[in-house]
Chains A and B, each alone.
Chain A
Amino acid sequence: MSRIASRLAQSVRQAKNDPPDPRTGRKATTPAGEPADAAGSVVTRQAPTREAPSPAPMPARRVWPD
């Protein structure tokens, strides 16, 4: 089974075994299979925030001779 097929099947299995509450949309476990917090909230992993890179310096404007 390819990696994508395996992940897709796993995600469907998870949707089957741990459906979100239709009223609140909350699940009993986190995507990693850990229990959700007391309020039932699921905190998904997020990419670490990074400082926005400074803009590249503008190239010096060349003045072409007429």
Chain B
Amino acid sequence: MTATVFSIANQKGGSGKTTLAMNLAAGLSGRGRTLVVDADPQGSAVQWSGMAPERRPFPVPVIALGDNLASEIQRFRRDYDFIVVDCPPSLETERTNKAMLASDRVLVPVLPSPVDLWASMRLARAIEQIRPIRPGLEACLVVNQLEPRSALSRAMQEALAEFEIPALASPIRRRAVYRNVAIEGRSVFCLGRQGDAAKAEIAAIIEEITGP
């Protein structure tokens, strides 16, 4: 067994890294053994899973890793099918670079806002710099908190075309359920019908990133 490793990275805070990591991991757990690595010193992913009651734990184990991130991820590759790494909101520490070097694919959540797009450009450059050292590293943007009625959201397509890395066809819309599940230590896959739209969004992303 050799896991596929996804890093969720963006040096901009509040772009939705942990939300994407946790829901993605929960969705991937339906396809194989999945692990979440919390590489963020803020420990948001660990805290998220800790909110779950004992009788109904988060469906995926979440562990915090620090300086020996790359070697530990390599070690866990043997035991899992999927590893999702929640990166810190910074490029100043080595953790994001180490996580990306140990990954097969980097997912970059971006909000439909100019400030977020400008900041994400820096990560896109960092990925380009890593690629000679980590050949085969794939990367893609994931549009997060899309509001189809807003002019900025509709304007995203042209702006995304300026990036060297492609954007997934499946965006994540701005929905309250993504915030609500964090409070309960759950994922959108634990919800009933109220979570159907969110489930479909995450499932579409999983289809895109695991497809041929």
Contacts and interface: CB of A to CB of B under 8 A. Distances in A.
Contacts of B117: 8, 11-12, 15
Nearest to B121: A15
A4 B156 CA distance: 10
A9 B122 contact: no
B158 interface: yes
Q: How would you classify the secondary structure of chain B's contact residues: helix, strand, loop or mixed?
A: helix
Contacts of B163: 12, 16
Tell which of B114, B154, B159, B161 has the most Cβ of chain A within 10 Å: B159
Contacts of B91: 22
A8 B114 contact: yes
Contact of B155 (A5, A19, A22): A5
A4 B159 contact: no
Interface in A12-43: 12-13, 15-16, 19, 22
B12 to A, nearest CB: 12
A15 B114 CA distance: 10
A2 B154 contact: yes
A15 B121 CA distance: 7
Given A12-B163, A19-B125, A1 B158 contact: yes
B50 to A, nearest CB: 34
Contacts of A11: 114, 117-118, 159
B152 interface: yes
A5 B114 contact: no
A47 B50 CA distance: 49
Nearest to A6: B158
Interface in B110-159: 114, 117-118, 121-122, 124-125, 151-152, 154-159
Contact of A15 (B118, B152, B154): B118
Nearest to B164: A16
9 contacts: A2-B155, A4-B151, A5-B158, A6-B158, A11-B117, A12-B117, A12-B159, A16-B163, A19-B122
Interface of B: 91, 114, 117-118, 121-122, 124-125, 151-152, 154-159, 161-163
